[in-house]
Amino acid sequence: MSGELLAKGYEPHEVEKRCYASWIEQGLFSAEETSDKKPYSIVIPPPNVTGVLHMGHALNNTLQDLLCRYRRLKGDNVLWMPGTDHAGIATQNVVEKKLAAEGRTRHEVGREAFIDEVWKWKEESGNAIFKQLKRMGASCDWDRERFTMDDGLSEAVRKVFVDLYKKGLIYRGNYIINWCPRCNTALADLEVEHEDKPGKLYHLKYPFADGSGHFVVATTRPETMFGDTAVAVNPEDDRYKGITATHVKLPLTDREIPIIRDEYVDLEFGTGALKVTPAHDPNDFELGKKHNLESLKVMTDEGVMNDGAGAFEGLTREACREAAVKALDEQGYLVKVEDHPHSVGHCYRCKTVIEPNLSQQWFVKVKPLAEKAIAAVEDGRTRIIPEHWTKTYYEWMYNIRDWCISRQIWWGHRIPVWTCDECGMDIVEETDPTVCPGCGSTHLTQDTDVLDTWFSSALWPFSTMGWPENTDLLKTFYPTSTLVTGFDILFFWVARMMMMGLHFMDEVPFKDVYIHALVRDEEGKKMSKSKGNVIDPLTVSDEYGTDAFRFTLTAFAAQGRDVKMSLARVEGYRHFINKIWNAARFSFMHLEQPHTEIDYANISLADRWILARLAETTAKVEEAIDTYKFNEAAAALYSFVWHSFCDWYLEASKPALYGKMGDAAMESTRSVLYRVLHDTLILLHPIIPFVSEEIYSKLPGTEGSIMKASWPVCDEFAAHGADAVAEKEMESVIAVISGLRNIRSEMNIAPSLELTVEVQAETEEMAALVNREKSTIMTLSRLASCEVKLTGERPKGVGTAIVEGAAVYVFLEGVVDFDREIERLEKSIAKSEKAVAGLEGKLNNQGFISKAPADVVAKFQAQHDEAKDKLDKLAFTLQKLKDVQSN
């Protein structure tokens, strides 16, 4: 318990460091493996072990932390499971670069020594992102930190592989896969990033073998022609129905290839004649299987032409394209070349253009798994929020292709398949075999590939909790409650967790999937290093404080809308944090001891009103968080704290707090102020944990951390008049005060000058209300006198404000020097008119508009709008003065 006053100014860095250390020391983030409390669990989307905090992480983890802190305050047993992903390709690239700087390669080092190097790097540098998440206030259960390559998860991975293999859901086969020539590994479809690039469409002659004519085929990749094994046309294509030739001569080679007919060929694309290259195009691969075509691989895994390319052997694919086109032109096979922008796939890690590559790989047969995952969303066991992402999920799942899970790298879970060197038998077991069960040989060789990183991540919701053991943690917290993630990994990760969770746990892995949008720059552009518009979250926290940053992220996290991040907005919410701090400092002057019991018999209208607003805000915040409308929760809190509590209630409570209304009124107002401040801090805590903790810890009567507090329950307020009636009455009082303040502002009346006022009410009830609350109205409006009467004639020489239920008149004779004020306004108007005219001249100058950069034009437009608004206000005020003077 402490009545210690708060420091004059809020210093976020000192507070954040101290608060977080205290939370850790007290074990406040720890989940209970068994408990009578309602379980609530979230598994963190595991950041790559190579990762550093970016804006996407900041938003994602702020929202997860908000949910977890909220559920703790609601009394739940909360588990927020932290961990990192081993990020196979990315981590191997990092360590390979480190070795290269030392003049070594992984092949020189050898596989085992290289893996040791990776583990060493991981221990030294691999958990930087956790420190950064702690800076953001992340309340993960850090004692349970997991890693996709740790022993327990590795055991789970092997068990899953063996189980799926033995059920026929994992198989090995030749298939067209995405291949990165730089990383020298297969990539899943989802690991390929597509970019629209300028390209060419080459029209080539393929002569009929019988000399009766030729096809013209169109291709974007003439270097692959050496792997052509057919030309296909649509049987419904009238252009080719009369052709009797059965084969064509393949240009630049001595081969003949067959003509096939298939409905797959697009009648509209190119010439309608399609070169078929089964080893270098996934669609051609399927066509080749259907027509029993040979698959000829004409490139090495490094993207270099092999002996199948004849005279072009040894050239890179890019050099071969250039050389082949030149040769085709020289030999009369090149008909024309057209510009043809098209989508080009790139490796998501190194950005190299990927190559469709025929290769022997391991695959998961996903269709049977996907059917269960589709049904789980259809029947509501798992909800996807916002709902429109459900359609995207279905589209992908209904059209899902088998998942290539083998990667030709060293860092990762090595595929648990051994081949007998003697008899060729494959052995797939959870423990390393030593003897071939077929022939008894001890000469066994393990597959050199590792599993796709997403294979282990797909098990994350249950493998992190101890599966395959049926642990207490698993029994308590699986299925998890909520998954918070970005839309970019809806298929990479979310869909695969659904499939694996349902198969191995017979339950969905999570009940709700909340998909947040992207964080963009203030102009709505995607952040990228090349654009120079990346905002570093840690820099923002350093400059403005973590709470201001978190509130900004939350305030703009509207469903289905990207977050436009600007530092001006963070600055605005820093003012909000300071507003809370200063309101608490004022409150502490009157709360030297706990005031936990409200004296409802003596509470004022302002007291009843703020309690009604507190109850309403509590309900709004609760509903907003429960429905993942985080921006609405932030908006409700901002409005309540800034406008209701600070702007109105604290001002309205001053007469009572300073003893002007008697001891009973002072004590009852103190009790209301205590309750409102106490509960407001709890409502704010999930979003701004540090400042709320610091103030709460110094509030008299509190014990321990705010994290141990209970979510506010405001049911009793309405029974004591803190309800809609109090809100309506106080809103009428606020309208009268606002009207008086507007007149003071419009007439340029000094704040210190006390005014004489007459309020003409339309009803007896309104008159009685204003009379009852006259003290509040006079104090907050600085009035010398306030007469209340029923509606009558408008007095002369008054400024007027019309509010609902009353007319408010301020006597201006002797208060305003009309002639002098009119002269001042006319001078200001003339100056403003000149400024507006100058800006309009610029904006109406088409020469200027057409040549000036867009941001310069926008700046002048903003200046014009501001100047015009000022001119309109000056003109309005002048007219009001003249009206009063002539009245």
What is the per-residue pLDDT across 703-717, written as a single tens digit (0 to 9) for each?
999 999 999 999 999
Give which of 227, 544, 497 is closest to 377, Cα–Cα. 497
Give which of 755, 711, 729 is closest to 604, Cα–Cα. 729
CA distance 517 to 810: 51
In this prediction, residue 405 carries a pLDDT of 93
Higher pLDDT, 485 or 825: 485
Mean pLDDT along residues 165-180: 90
Question: Sign of dihedral through CA atoms 278, 169, 383, 147?
Answer: negative
Domain membership flag for residue 104:
no
Backbone torsion region of residue 585, taken as left when φ is above 0, otherwise alpha when ψ lies between -120 and 50, otherwise beta: alpha
Instruction: Assess contact for 575 and 642: CB atoms under 8 A.
Output: no
Domain membership flag for residue 88:
no
The pLDDT > 70 percentage for the chain reads 99
In this prediction, residue 2 carries a pLDDT of 39
CA distance 190 to 178: 10
In this prediction, residue 870 carries a pLDDT of 79
Domain membership flag for residue 373:
no
Q: Which pLDDT band, with edges at 50, 70 and 90, does 859 fall under?
A: confident
Side chain identity, residue 320 = C
**For residue 802, what are the β-bridge partners?**
807
Mean pLDDT along residues 743-771: 95
User: What are the pLDDT digits (tens) for 288-303?
Assistant: 989 999 999 999 989 9
The pLDDT > 90 percentage for the chain reads 74
Mean pLDDT along residues 413-420: 97
CA distance 392 to 409: 32
In this prediction, residue 616 carries a pLDDT of 98
Instruction: Assess contact for 474 and 465: CB atoms under 8 A.
Output: yes
In this structure, the answer to whether residues 321 and 272 fall within a common structural domain is: yes
Mean pLDDT along residues 614-624: 98
Judged against a pLDDT cut of 90, whether residue 484 lies above it is answered with: yes
**For residue 304, what are the β-bridge partners?**
316
Helices (H), 658-773: 663-684, 689-698, 724-746, 764-772
CATH number, residue 633: 1.10.730.10
CA distance 673 to 645: 9
Higher pLDDT, 802 or 421: 421
DSSP code at position 493: I
In this structure, the answer to whether residues 793 and 867 fall within a common structural domain is: no
In this prediction, residue 4 carries a pLDDT of 54
**For residue 260, what are the β-bridge partners?**
232
CA distance 599 to 249: 99
In this structure, the answer to whether residues 666 and 551 fall within a common structural domain is: yes
User: What are the pLDDT digits (tens) for 269-279?
Assistant: 778 999 999 99
In this structure, the answer to whether residues 321 and 232 fall within a common structural domain is: yes
Largest CA distance in the chain: 115
Please give the C-alpha separations between residue 223 and each of 63, 182, 215, 295, in angstroms, as whole numbers.
49, 19, 18, 16
Side chain identity, residue 334 = L
In this structure, the answer to whether residues 746 and 879 fall within a common structural domain is: no
CA distance 167 to 105: 39
Number of domains in the chain: 4
Give the phi and the psi of residue 400 in degrees, each rounded to 5. -70, 145
Mean pLDDT along residues 306-326: 95
Residue 475 assigned as binding residue: no
Pairing mode, if any, of strands 39-43 and 77-81? parallel
Mean pLDDT along residues 805-830: 85
CATH number, residue 248: 3.90.740.10
DSSP per-residue string spanning 745-770 = HHTT--TTS-EEEEEEESSHHHHHHH
Give which of 837, 768, 751 is closest to 806, Cα–Cα. 768
Least confident interval from 504-518, 522-536, 540-554:
522-536
Judged against a pLDDT cut of 60, whether residue 746 lies above it is answered with: yes
Q: Tokens 């296909």 label which residue?
A: 232
Domain membership flag for residue 630:
yes
Domain membership flag for residue 882:
yes
CA distance 85 to 126: 10
**Average pLDDT of the residues of the chain:** 92
Domain membership flag for residue 65:
no
Q: Give the end-to-end CA distance of the chain in Å, rounded to a whole number.
A: 62
Q: Which pLDDT band, with edges at 50, 70 and 90, does 530 fall under?
A: low
Least confident interval from 186-190, 583-587, 600-604:
186-190
In this structure, the answer to whether residues 564 and 687 fall within a common structural domain is: yes
Q: Which pLDDT band, with edges at 50, 70 and 90, does 219 fall under?
A: very high
Q: Is 247 strand, coil or helix? A: strand
Question: Sign of dihedral through CA atoms 448, 452, 458, 461?
Answer: positive
Judged against a pLDDT cut of 80, whether residue 334 lies above it is answered with: yes
In this prediction, residue 821 carries a pLDDT of 66
Domain membership flag for residue 438:
no
In this prediction, residue 3 carries a pLDDT of 39
Mean pLDDT along residues 353-366: 89
Run of H or E residues at 377: helix 367-378
Which own/partner contact pairs does 219-223 have at CB distance under 8 Å and 24+ positions apart? Answer: 219/275, 220/340, 220/342, 221/280, 221/321, 222/321, 222/324, 222/325, 222/328, 223/305, 223/309, 223/312, 223/317, 223/320, 223/321, 223/324
**For residue 204, what are the β-bridge partners?**
217, 334
In this structure, the answer to whether residues 615 and 675 fall within a common structural domain is: yes
In this structure, the answer to whether residues 638 and 680 fall within a common structural domain is: yes
CATH number, residue 881: 1.10.287
In this structure, the answer to whether residues 562 and 683 fall within a common structural domain is: yes
Backbone torsion region of residue 314, taken as left when φ is above 0, otherwise alpha when ψ lies between -120 and 50, otherwise beta: left
CA distance 606 to 594: 21
Which own/partner contact pairs does 107-113 have at CB distance under 8 Å and 24+ positions apart? Answer: 111/410
pTM for the complete prediction? 0.84
Least confident interval from 155-159, 363-367, 840-844:
840-844
In this structure, the answer to whether residues 690 and 545 fall within a common structural domain is: yes
Instruction: State both tokens at 354.
Output: 């990927």
Domain interval for residue 808: 727-816
CATH number, residue 755: 3.30.2320
Instruction: State both tokens at 194.
Output: 């597509």
Cis peptide bond prior to 795, omega within 30° of 0: no
Residues 6+ apart with CB under 8 A from 139: 23, 28, 29, 65, 68, 69, 72, 80, 689, 707
In our burial notation (b when 16+ CB lie closer than 10 A, e otherwise), range 271-285 reads: bbbbbbbbbbbbebb
In this structure, the answer to whether residues 226 and 262 fall within a common structural domain is: yes
In 163-213, the DSSP E strands lie at 170-180, 185-187, 192-197, 200-207
Residues 6+ apart with CB under 8 A from 272: 233, 234, 237, 239, 240, 265, 266
- Residue 596 buriedness (CB in 10 A; 0-12 / 13-18 / 19+): exposed
Domain boundary among 322, 340, 358: 340
In this structure, the answer to whether residues 575 and 665 fall within a common structural domain is: yes
Q: Which pLDDT band, with edges at 50, 70 and 90, does 520 fall under?
A: confident
Judged against a pLDDT cut of 60, whether residue 140 lies above it is answered with: yes
Instruction: Assess contact for 605 and 723: CB atoms under 8 A.
Output: no
Instruction: Assess contact for 5 and 592: CB atoms under 8 A.
Output: no
Domain membership flag for residue 269:
yes
Higher pLDDT, 818 or 22: 22
Instruction: Assess contact for 128 and 101: CB atoms under 8 A.
Output: no
